[in-house]
Structure 1
Amino acid sequence: MACDGPCGVAETSGRDRTAASSGGTIGAAGPAARHDARTVLEAFVAAEDGVSKEQYSAFTSGGLSGTKVDYLYASELLDETKKESAFAVTTADGPVVVHLGGLDTDEHEEMLPAYELARRTLRVA
């Protein structure tokens, strides 16, 4: 993912596509965000080979507006297609992307409750 200024990504798939790690509460001090959440998320997904059937939607949580996406990822290593998800928000410090992968679709779905909890409980510090 390319972005101007600080970017944060929490990665859970084992594939390292992170600019920085971020977790917990999202900070709000610093320069204005230069990208909207959808643009950042589209760039994040486009950087991955083997993605199909992307479904984007908007959400709000804790005063933040964001975009989420569910998609299929064709893993050459595992020779299978599996579900993945990600969401993005922009803050005064810049964009943050949280990605949920998993070894396969079953593991992805088992981790979805924690991922959804993180998305629903976002707060600006």
Structure 2
Amino acid sequence: MGGIKNTCLVAFAVVTLTAACTSEPEPTATPPGTSAAPAAAASAGRVGGADSACKLPLSFDLADKWKPKAIEDAESLGSLGNQGGFTAACEIDAKPAGHLGFLRIWTSTKTGSARAALDDFLAADRHITVPEHSEAQVASTTAAEVTYIRDNPNAEVKKRERLLSVPTPSGAVVLALGGFDDDEHTNMLPAYELAKKSLRIP
């Protein structure tokens, strides 16, 4: 499947700027690893394999109507495509499922612990506040998970996000779930949890 063009990332930037015009209440901290998600998401295929839209060092189930696209030329996208030694590899759009947000997959050549790789990713983002860390057992390995509040003074908006760092033989992979606001983030959690519990490392 063809790679995502800069236009998709530009569209995301427009969504982010639009959020800046809306005053949101500060989120209430939630313990890591918990979710106030609605119902569990049903699987509608997998992504990550050689025959899927995004070839990745791992694979997982997709929620119904979520659309994956590979990100090409991420190196040329600056901070939109590169962060803390990770490169954006895949963007899974929730809009066809009725939600405003993405599940993004970042890859790296980082070996060692999942937490160390996650710390590198977080250190490159100065808008992360109130991080809450936990460990998760996925695909017979120990992954590192964090929930946090994105506080960007320039955007005048605070919203919850979460990351999952998974070690693989070729390097750590980060799954990043954001959303337009806290409500969208909560509504997209079932798709994230589905990916997490169905994750496999070849």
Shift of 1:56: 0.6
- C-alpha deviation, 1:62, in angstroms: 2.0
Structure 2 gap ranges (5+): 1-55, 58-67, 69-78, 92-108
Q: In the TM superposition, what whole-angstrom CA distance separates every residue of 1:1-45 from its partner, at most 9, and x where no partner exists? A: xxxxxx97x9xxxx824404158xxxxxxxx96231001111111
TM-score, normalisation: structure 2: 0.47
Query: Once superposed, which parts of structure 1, at least 4 consecutive aligned residues long, lie more than 4 Å away?
Result: none
Is contact 1:64-1:124 (8 Å) kept?
no
CA distance in 2, matches of 1:78, 1:49: 13
Name the CA distance, whole Å, in 1 between partners of 2:143 and 2:81: 20
Matched, 1:41 2:118: yes
Structure 1 spans left out of the alignment, 5+ residues: 1-6, 24-31
Give percent identity, aligned residues only.
Answer: 32
- Give yes or no for the alignment of 1:83 onto 2:160: yes
Mapped contact 1:64–1:122 kept (Cα < 8 A): no
Q: Return closer, same or farther for 1:116/1:69 CA change in 2, 3 Å cut-off.
A: same
Higher Cα Rg, which structure:
2
Of the three residues 70, 75, 80, the one matched with 1:16 is 80
Aligned-residue CA RMSD (Å): 2.5
TM-score between both structures, scaled by the size of structure 1? 0.74
Contact 1:33–1:91 under 8 Å retained in 2 = no
1:100 aligns with one of 165, 177, 186: 177
1:110-125 superposed matches below 5 A: 110-125=187-202
